[in-house]
Structure 1
Amino acid sequence: MVDPGAARGGDRPGGDLPQTGERRGRGVVTVLSIARKELALYFGSFLFYALATVFLLLAGYFFYTNLGFFVLMGGMSLPRGLWQYQLLDVQRLLLVLTPLFTMRLFAEERKLGTLELLWTYPVRDAEIILGKFLACLAVVTVMVGATVVYPVMVAAFYPVAAGPLLAGYVGLWLLVAAFIACGLFLSALTDSDSRRWRGLR
Structure 2
Amino acid sequence: MTSDATDTIDTLIARYVAGNLPTPARVLVASHLELNPRSRALARGLEVMAGEELELETPRPIRDPKNRLAAILGSDAPAPIILPPQPANAIYPRALRDYVGFDADETPWRTKMPGFREHDLGEIEGFHVSLFWIRPGRRIPTHTHGGVELSLVLDGAFTDVHGRYGRGDISIADETVEHRPTAEMDRPCIGMAITDAPLKLTGSIPRRLMDIIGG
Q: TM-score higher than 0.5 here?
A: no
Greater relative contact order (CA < 8 Å, ≥ 6 in sequence): 1
* TM-score for both structures, normalised by structure 1: 0.24
Q: Which has the higher strand share?
A: 2
* TM-score for both structures, normalised by structure 2: 0.23
Query: Larger radius of gyration, structure 1 or 2?
Result: 1
